[in-house]
Amino acid sequence: MHASAIAHPNVALIKYWGKRDVAENLPAVGSLSVTLGALRTETTVEFDAALKRDVLVLNGREQPLEQSRLAACMDAFRALSGCDEYATVTSENDFPTGAGLASSASGYAALVTAAAGALGIGLHEARTGPGLIDVARIGSGSAPRSLFGGIALLDVQAQGTSCRQLSAPAEWPLAVVVAVTTESRKDITSRDGMEQSRLTSPFYAAWIGDHADDLAAAIGHVAARDFSALADLSEHNCLKMHSVMMTTRPALLYWSPVTLACMQKIVSLRAEGVPVFFTVDAGPQVKAVCLPDAMSTVVAALHDVPGVVRIIAGELGEGARVV
Ligand code: PMV
C-alpha cells in the first residue's frame, strides 16, 4: 500500500486571506490560481500496519508531528477512506520550503494524491470524489488548487470547498517568473497571520466585502483570455490583501526592499508594453505572470534587480498525479 505523486505549487491571482472556520481550515473567500510548472514536490506515502503513528520525512529530515497539520490531514484521509493504518510520508521539494513559494500547497496536494494512489482510489475520484478536496484543504487552504493544472478556481460553500480547472495549460499558455529574494523560512505562517488579520485589521471587512466581485470578474477575464484586464485586477487584489496584512496588529510586513524593487520593475516593464504583472504572497518573493513570449525579457529584467538571489521560470504546470 504505497504510491508516489508529484504536485506543483500554485500562486493565487485572486487570493484568500482569512478563515471562515479556523478548526475546519475553511477559507473565508474563494480564490483563483495558476499552477507553477517549474517547481515540484514529490511525495511517497506508505501505509504500514506496524506503525503506531504517522511519520513525516521532509527534505531528508524527520519532522515532529504532535498536533500537526499533517496528522490532522492524515486522520481526515483515514476517516474518509476507511483505512485505519498509519503511514510513512516522504516528501522532497526542489525549491525552498516555507519561504513564500507555496510548498504547503504542493505538499498537501501531492500527499492526498499519493495516499489515494496507495489505496487504489483513482485519480479522477482523487480530484473530484467526495471529501478529498476537503482533506487537502485541512492541510493547507491553497492545496486543493494544486490538484489542478493551468488555472484553478476554489469555491467556498456553506459546508466545504469545491475546486475545478478553469483552463488547461495549453488552452491559455502563460508563464510565471519567480524572483527569489531570500531562501530563509518566513517568521509568521500564513495560518497565524491571516487569523491575526481577521481579528485586528480595520480593512478586513472591506477585503471580504469586495472579494466576490473580484473573483467573478477574474473568471470572466480568464474565459475571455483578456491578459490586460486580468493583470490590472490581479495586482489590485494582491495589494488589497497586503493592505490588510500591513494594517494587522502587530503588522505583517512581508515585503523586503528587494520585493518592492521587483514590483516596480514589473510595473515599468508593463508600461513599456511587456505583457507582465506581479503578485506577492505571505513572503518576500515576487511572482511575475507573463505571456510566454515575454518570459526571457522578464527573466533578464528581474535578474538585474540588485538583491535577487535567483530566478525560477517556467510555463504553467499540470495537476497532481501519481508517478
Ligand atoms: O492556506 P495557506 O497557508 O496556503 O495560505 C495561502 C495564503 C496566500 O498564499 C497568501 C493566498 C492564497 O490564496 O494562496
Q: Is 140 in the pocket of ligand 1 (CB under 6 A)?
A: yes
pLDDT in tens, 130-151: 678 889 999 999 999 999 999 9
Site to substitute for ligand 1 among 17, 151, 196, most atoms within 8 A of C-beta: 17
CB of residue 145 inside a 6 A radius of ligand 1? no
281 lines ligand 1 (CB under 6 A): yes
Looking at residue 101, its pLDDT comes to 85
List pLDDT tens digits, range 203-229.
999 999 999 999 999 999 999 999 999
Q: Whose CA is nearest to atom 10 of ligand 1?
A: 281
Specify the residue with its C-alpha closest to ligand 1, atom 8. Answer: 281
Q: Of all atoms in ligand 1, which is nearest to the CA of residue 105?
A: 4
Secondary element (H or E) of residue 10: strand 10-14
Q: What is the pLDDT of residues 17-66, one digit of tens each?
A: 999 999 889 999 999 999 999 999 999 999 999 999 999 999 999 998 87
Ligand 1 contact via 106 beta carbon (within 6 Å) = no
15, 101, 104, 289, best to mutate for ligand 1 pocket (most atoms within 8 Å of CB): 15
Secondary structure percentages of the chain, helix, strand, coil, to 5: 40, 25, 35
Domains of the chain in sequence order: 2-168 (3.30.230.10), 175-315 (3.30.70.890)
Whether residue 104 has its Cβ less than 6 Å from ligand 1: yes
Cα-to-centroid distance, 191 and ligand 1 (Å) = 8
Percent of the chain with pLDDT over 70: 97
**Per-chain mean pLDDT for the chain:** 94
- Contact (CB, 8 A) for 266 and 304: no
- Mean pLDDT along residues 93-108: 88
The rounded Å distance from CA 36 to ligand 1 centre is 15
**Which string of DSSP letters, residue by residue, matches 186-240?**
PSS-HHHHHHHHHHH-TTHHHHHHHHHHHHHHHHHHHHTT-HHHHHHHHHHHHHH
